[in-house]
Amino acid sequence: MISNTFGWIGRKTIRFFAHVTNISYLGWDILYWIFVGPWVGRPLRWRNVIQEMDDLGARSFPLIGTMSVSLGTVIIVIIGPQFQAFGIPDYVPELVTVFLVRELSPLLTGVVLAGRVGSMVTARLGTMVTDDEVLALEVMAIEPVEYLMVPKFIATVVMLPCLTILADLIGMTTSLIIATFGLDLPFQSYLDGVLGACTLTDVTFSLFKSVIFGIVIILVSCYQGVNTEGGAEEVGSATMVSVVTCTISVILLNGFMTIMFYL
Amino acid sequence: MIRVQGLSKTFGNLKVLDDLSLTCSKGEITAIIGGSGGGKSTFLKMLVGAVKPDSGEIWVDGSPIHALEDLALNDVRRKMGVLFQQAALFKSITVAENVALPLVENTDLDESVVAIIVKMKLDQVGLSDFDQYLPSQLSSGMQRLVGLARAIALDPKIVLYDAPTAGLDPIAASAISKLIKDLNQVLGITSILVTHDIMGAVEIADHMALMYQGRILHQGSPEELLASPEPSVRQFMHGDPDGPIQFRKSREEYEKALFEEAQ
Ligand SMILES: Nc1ncnc2c1ncn2[C@@H]1O[C@H](COP(=O)(O)OP(=O)(O)OP(=O)(O)O)[C@@H](O)[C@H]1O
Ligand SMILES: [Mg+2]
């Protein structure tokens, strides 16, 4: 029984590291095509990149916007009255800013994109593999990594920080409006508080996190997609695994990076 | 031109190819016939280096496919066109863009020239009116025709056809057979034709090979195979359900399997 459990853990661990190794190889391959490819006659496909930015990023905007409005509202509604009751309303803008910019915006934007990118990319690539389309690319002497994955990679890694900033702005604006009109905190001093609290370090840290999330999300999604074998059933389960893995990775990485930041 | 020697491939515990050897001469049409699930498509995929053999050698136009790395492999692949059994068109781009893809990716031709070539190739397969359709808007037979147009877009020296006439009406099927023959005679394209359409193959092939249990059971000119006294060849060429080649397990084996199932 005990040896069984250890065997199970051992096998899982080995599989996990095998996946991590393969994913890093994929990452190196993609970096090669981004930074070396253009010098050896394989220019980046900007048209596809823009297409993917639209598909994977811009279309997430309504979701991100809704989420940020709700987030900004909830935070200010919870924190504001509490601090007012303690007689320290000056700390409200600072706390809201730290929470939103450093933590919640990057985390939740990452989670939203993990769902979107994880499902779209894995399902698309998985279908292409099971329909022999990837094979057809290889046979036409087209590199699938360069043709299919590089545009998606660039799009995700660029769009995620952009969406995070948008989420920050929308969340902060919402909280500012509610603080002014709902909680009678003076507009000017709240705004000053926000601007004072929102340091360059905060913004950089939040963008750094979202870049890391983007890299992990797109690599996992591509990896799951191209390693699909079989048919529709397998594409479905690969997509599910991809979304779950991306989401969990974002959550764990966020915790890890925040702890490292404060240590 | 194409020579394979002692090719073996096992998927799981299913032996698909078992010490298969075959030579296809330059400028000839070699037709491969054989039972469904007999490994013919797998064999074609091996010839382009898309599936690696467990053992054996594959020589195409003097290059050892079994030993080549990706870059060198691509040089050989540019000389080859492949029509996949499921067409393997890219679902997100139009028919014209599909046919244009190998040209855009592998040549420096001007857009207008590419457009003309695409028009010509689509005309050859009788689909010039469908250039702006998406693959999903075509029937599966038409998709295969587009796949054929794409396979010959680069004017390759070697073309591999996987069931080009399957699912086509008799008129379209014989038109395609004629196209394959024309390409072979006018441009000297070396062709390998995998098909279940025995009579179509007999008409155009220079050489025929019957694949059974992962190896070439019998080969020769179409006339030789038609006249062969060998029972298994006769059975296959004339489509007889009874004979040495079994479609189902024998009655005894079947009863035994049922009995075992019940226990
Ligand atoms: N990637 C794979 N993984 C596992 N098994 C496979 C794979 N590809 C093919 N096979 C198996 O290999 C066998 C041969 O398949 P293949 O597609 O080559 O047959 P085929 O001769 O082309 O059949 P058909 O005439 O029906 O097209 C089948 O039993 C199939 O299940
Ligand atoms: Mg087949």
Q: Do B84 and A141 touch (CB under 8 A)?
A: no
ipTM of the complex: 0.83
| pLDDT of chain A, 263 residues: tens digit per residue | 667 888 888 888 888 888 888 888 888 989 988 888 888 878 888 998 999 999 888 888 999 999 999 998 988 888 888 888 887 777 888 888 888 888 899 999 999 999 999 999 999 999 999 988 998 998 888 889 999 999 999 999 999 999 999 999 999 999 888 888 888 778 888 888 888 888 888 889 899 999 999 999 999 999 999 999 888 889 999 999 999 999 999 999 999 998 988 87
- The three-state DSSP-derived secondary structure of B219-241 is EECHHHHHHCCCHHHHHHHHCCC
**A141·B86 Cβ contact <8 A:** no
Whether the CB-CB separation of B46 and B224 falls below 8 Å is answered with no
CB-CB under 8 Å, B86 with A138? no
* Domain spans, chain B: 2-79+156-222
Q: Is the CB of B13 within 6 Å of ligand 1?
A: no
> With an 8 Å Cβ cutoff, is A136 touching chain B?
yes
> Kind of pairing, strands B158-162 and B80-83?
parallel
Separation between Cα atoms, residue B223 and residue B31, nearest integer Å: 13
**Quick check: pTM over 0.90?**
no
Instruction: Name the strand (E) or helix (H) holding B24.
Output: strand B14-24
Verify whether ligand 1 is closer than 6 Å to residue B11 (CB atom).
yes
B78 part of contact set with chain A, CB < 8 Å: yes
Residues of chain B in contact with residue A142, where contact means CB-CB under 8 angstroms, are 101-102, 105
Polymer length of chain B: 263
Task: Report the residue of chain A nearest B74, measured CA to CA.
Answer: A141
Structure token digits, residue A56: 């994977």
**What is the homologous superfamily of the domain B2-79+156-222 according to CATH?**
P-loop containing nucleotide triphosphate hydrolases (3.40.50.300)
Q: Does B91 touch chain A (CB under 8 A)?
A: yes
Q: At how many degrees (to 10) do helices A150-182 and A61-86 cross?
A: 40
Q: Where are the domains of chain A?
A: 45-262
pLDDT tens track for B37-49: 888 999 999 998 8
